[in-house]
Amino acid sequence: MSLEDVQSVVLVGVGGQGILLASEVLAQAAVLSGHRVKTNEVHGMAQRGGSVVAQIRWGQKVYSPLVASGTARVLGSLEQIEALRYAHYLAPNGLAVVSAQAIMPMTVSTGEAIYPKDVPGLLKRSFSRLIYLDAAQAALDLGEIRAANMVVLGAVSTGLDIAIEDWRDAIVASVKERFVEINLRAFEAGRSFS
Amino acid sequence: MAAAASLAKARSIVTMKHVGLNVAADPLMTLSYLGVEGGLVACVADDPGMHSSQNEQDTRHYARLAKVPLFEPSDSQEARDLMLLAMEISEEYRTPAILRSTTRVSHSRSLVDLGERKPAGRRIGFVKNPPRYVPIPVWGRVMRRDVEERMGRLVRAAEASSANWMEWRDRSLGIVTSSIAYQYVREVWPDASVLKLGFSYPFPDSLFLEFASQVDSVLVVEELDPILEEHVRSLGIACRGGDVVPKVGELSPDQLLLARMRMEGRKPAMDAGQMALPPRPAVLCPGCPHRGIFYVLGQLDVVVTGDIGCYSLGAFKPLDRMDTILCMGAGISMAQGLEKAGDPRKVVGIVGDSTFFHSGITGLLDIAYNRGGSTILVLDNRTTAMTGHQENPGTGRTLMGDVSVPISIEAIGSACGIERVRTVDPYDLEAVSVAVREEVEAFAPSLIVARAPCPLKERRRLGAVRVVDEDACKGCRICIRLACPAIEWLGETARINPLLCMGCGLCQGICPAGAIAPQEVDS
């Protein structure tokens, strides 16, 4: 029995950015592609502007819903330093998709901590395969800032073997009907950043 | 309620967190004596890692204490399967049962094969039978003996249960495990033999003995307290467990990989170490009505006894205005305790609307009747926000969504004997300040209800988005003290993130430079 064919993705960001919806779409796409899936995320406190991490794993047989360090195939981040916070999950040859958004934690505003300087440089040094994109701007260009999560997910999809039809069906299944169109367009926009 | 429903032959499930079982422990202990008619399962979610809880207690102790069967699913499918089994065992053995989940079982999702729904087809009705349902000593002592006899039969049920199984692989190491730990074990020790327990209490002794006799060494992997491990040792089986597997915090594949290295005498490769990143704790949302309350309390020399809910976040800097948290209802009762002890400072107790209804009223009654002088602030945001906006007795809807009678917090306060009851708008900082100062100074108990709906639930802005005039901003950082995630400090001036701002206007009200104003809307 081999666990090598289990795929893991970690999606991170700040509470309120739509990580959980992105996680749901990814899980749904993996189901549609014919796999058993386990996802995990922590709600509650984490939702109130805190650091949020969602984990999605799929394959023929998945045991742990938690990803072991150094095994995620893709790390998707909606905030730039959150990608650094969870960098240890990524496999050595894994793909990091990082949105250029910088959201100041309260600890920075109060002066207890410092937001790192030259984050793009840190990202380049931390990740051998990096897609650094401005998902918020791309979503704004489409007229809906809240679709930034789908832009990131679109870029994440370029590092995974899930057919485009499954992604589209997953978005249709997971998103309210009136938001399907904008989310599909945001996802497509994300796919162009590879 | 579930107990009575069960006695009327209805099947019932009652759900709670680990700390909720402390509150429900009193009825559980004696219900174990009464037994059940319809199946009754307490579905209890533990929180190893304390992701959103005030302690890390292990519910498995309660199964032993109450002498009831315990079921531990390790994923979503088992949560469904074991719930059914627990219900059947509960009914067959006429005992309440506990289904224990942990953080990563509760918060993970996976595909579940559903079964056919079978109508229960039973007649609901309570049949009088005092020797069974009235545990006064003469009958209670009989029940007590019956519980022990039941435990004996439950051991045999657990030993024969399909929820407990052995997986034979390499026999040099056999791992005894339950709950989510099983899933991690399968990844970290893919070659080891496993005794997997889904029906884990009463302990299926013959399984431990049989399993141990067929492997060279035994390791027990369990989350939190060494309950299985201690029992396995008590059977005379040498094993490892807590010496290599952490007993504090939640387990994970990473934790168990380290445990495996420890066991095998290997040194883990030194991690390069994570770069120093600013912590990102949760904060009160933009537009939260609780924010202004903590800001005002920050200007007063009082002790603030807090409670469980979103407003626990008022403990963090820069608000930093909650001095204690203990359990639900303690915001009120601890205020009374500090005062009775003779603390020289005035005390303000804080509680949310939902928590007030849940377990605040008895404490309030105590303050009023025993002539306390505390000021109790109910932060009434018209919902149970932290856990996902559930209804509560103040909202006018039941948990099933049906219209009901909204219960008045003020009327409860008056009925408890509190004469000084007032209501304030939490966005009106001046009014909040006046009310709190007056009530703190008064030599009588008082209740202030700060009422405004949770904007996260309402999903609409409270007013125009605010902007900072950077030329006018003097950099005094007073607005930062509001701990609003929409307000960012740029080094010399503040900036308001228009995507996050809910337009509550608190920052505009406190800015001494008048640098914050509503954004002009393009026509």
Contact B201, B69 (CB under 8 A): yes
| Residue B91 in contact with partner chain A when CB distance is under 8 A | no
DSSP assignment string, B168-191: -SEEEEEEEEETTHHHHHHHHSTT
For residue B255, give the chain A residue with the closest CA: A68
Contact A117, A109 (CB under 8 A): no
User: Which residues of A are less than 8 Å from B499 in CB distance?
Assistant: 145
Question: Which CATH number applies to B290-458: 3.40.50.1000, 3.40.50.300, 3.20.140.10, 3.40.50.970?
Answer: 3.40.50.970
For residue A31, give the chain B residue with the closest CA: B111
Residues 394-423 of B with CB under 8 A from A: none
Task: Report, as ranges of residue numbers, the positions in chain A whose pLDDT lies below 50.
Answer: 1-2
- Per-residue CA distances from B136 to A32, B4, B130 (Å): 59, 17, 9
Phi, psi (deg, nearest 5) at residue B180? -60, -25
pLDDT of B270 reads 65
pLDDT of B308 reads 94
User: Which residues of A are less than 8 Å from B254 in CB distance?
Assistant: 66, 68-69
Is the pLDDT at B365 greater than 70? The verdict is yes
User: Which residues of A are less than 8 Å from B180 in CB distance?
Assistant: 65
Is the pLDDT at B138 greater than 60? The verdict is yes
* Cβ distance of B278 and A40 shorter than 8 Å: no
Give me B414's structure tokens: 């008056």
Q: B165-263 sits in which CATH class?
A: alpha beta
For residues B87-111, give the mean pLDDT. 96
Give me B397's structure tokens: 């809807």
Q: How far apart are CA B197 and CA B179, in angstroms?
A: 8
Q: Domain-by-domain residue ranges, chain A? A: 7-191
| Residue A27 in contact with partner chain B when CB distance is under 8 A | yes
Is the pLDDT at B271 greater than 70? The verdict is no
Is the pLDDT at B477 greater than 50? The verdict is yes
Q: How far apart are CA B389 and CA A148, in angstroms?
A: 25
pLDDT of A194 reads 77
Q: B466-518 sits in which CATH class?
A: alpha beta
State how far residue B486 is from chain A, nearest Cα, in angstroms.
9
* Cβ distance of B487 and A47 shorter than 8 Å: no
Of B110, B253, B480, the CB nearest to A110: B480
B196: enclosing H helix or E strand: strand B192-197
* Cβ distance of A38 and B387 shorter than 8 Å: no
State how far residue B484 is from chain A, nearest Cα, in angstroms.
8
CA-based nearest residue to A68, from B270, B266, B255 = B255
pLDDT of B294 reads 97
pLDDT of A83 reads 97
How remote is the C-alpha of B177 from its chain's centroid?
A: 25
| Residue A43 in contact with partner chain B when CB distance is under 8 A | yes
Q: How many CB atoms lie within 10 A of CB A57?
A: 28
State how far residue B111 is from chain A, nearest Cα, in angstroms.
7
As a whole number of Å, the CA-based R_g of chain A is 16
Q: Is the ipTM of this complex over 0.90?
A: yes
For residues B123-151, give the mean pLDDT. 97
Domain A7-191, classified CATH 3.40.920.10, yes or no: yes
For residue B387, give the chain A residue with the closest CA: A44
Give alpha helix (H) positions in A110-147.
119-126, 135-141
Residues 89-108 of A with CB under 8 A from B: 103-108
Q: Domain-by-domain residue ranges, chain B? A: 2-111+121-160, 165-263, 290-458, 466-518
DSSP A68: P
User: Which residues of A are less than 8 Å from B274 in CB distance?
Assistant: 85, 87-88
| Residue B485 in contact with partner chain A when CB distance is under 8 A | yes
Of B109, B180, B254, the CB nearest to A39: B109
Domains B2-111+121-160 and B165-263 alike in fold = yes
Contact B375, B440 (CB under 8 A): yes
Q: How far apart are CA B43 and CA B105, in angstroms?
A: 12
Identify the sign of the CA torsion B386, B29, B133, B149: positive
HSE of B158, CA atoms in CB hemisphere, 13 A? 25
| Residue B491 in contact with partner chain A when CB distance is under 8 A | no
Task: Dump pLDDT digits (tens) for B378-419.
Answer: 999 999 998 889 999 999 999 999 999 999 999 999 999 999
Q: What's the mean pLDDT when you consider all of chain A?
A: 93
| Residue A63 in contact with partner chain B when CB distance is under 8 A | yes
Q: What's the mean pLDDT when you consider all of chain B?
A: 95
Residue B471 CB-density burial (10 A; 0-12 exposed, 13-18 middle, 19+ buried): exposed
Of A31, A50, A64, the CB nearest to B281: A50
| Residue A45 in contact with partner chain B when CB distance is under 8 A | yes
For residue B477, give the chain A residue with the closest CA: A110
Which of A41-50, B182-191, B226-235, B483-492 has the least mean pLDDT?
A41-50
Contact B188, B194 (CB under 8 A): no
Phi, psi (deg, nearest 5) at residue B310? -50, -35
Of B275, B277, B282, the CB nearest to A45: B282
pLDDT of B273 reads 63
CA-based nearest residue to B180, from B255, B80, B73, B257 = B73
pLDDT of B523 reads 47
User: Which residues of B are less than 8 Å from A104 in CB distance?
Assistant: 488-489
Those residues whose C-beta lies under 8 Å from the C-beta of residue B437, and which sit 6 or more positions away, are: B300
DSSP assignment string, B279-322: -----PPTT-THHHHHHHHTTS-EEEE--SSGGGGGGSTTT---
* Cβ distance of A107 and B190 shorter than 8 Å: no
Is the pLDDT at B73 greater than 90? The verdict is yes
| Residue A42 in contact with partner chain B when CB distance is under 8 A | yes
* Cβ distance of B52 and A41 shorter than 8 Å: no
- Per-residue CA distances from B287 to B133, B313, B518 (Å): 51, 14, 14
* Cβ distance of A36 and B280 shorter than 8 Å: no
Residues 94-113 of B with CB under 8 A from A: 103-104, 107-111
* Cβ distance of B282 and A116 shorter than 8 Å: no
Q: Which fold has domain B2-111+121-160?
A: Rossmann fold (3.40.50)
User: Which residues of A are less than 8 Å from B284 in CB distance?
Assistant: 48
User: Which residues of A are less than 8 Å from B310 in CB distance?
Assistant: 48
User: Which residues of A are less than 8 Å from B497 in CB distance?
Assistant: 103
pLDDT of B522 reads 60
As a whole number of Å, the CA-based R_g of chain B is 27
End-to-end, the C-alpha distance of chain B in Å comes to: 58
pLDDT of B444 reads 95
CA-based nearest residue to B468, from B490, B494, B491 = B494
* Cβ distance of B108 and A40 shorter than 8 Å: yes
For residue A4, give the chain B residue with the closest CA: B187
How sure is the predictor about B481, in pLDDT bands with cuts at 50, 70 and 90?
very high
What percentage of chain A carries pLDDT values higher than 90?
A: 88
For residues B429-439, give the mean pLDDT. 97
Task: Dump pLDDT digits (tens) for B16-45.
Answer: 999 999 999 999 999 999 999 999 999 999
Phi, psi (deg, nearest 5) at residue B322? -135, 125
Is the pLDDT at B257 greater than 90? The verdict is yes
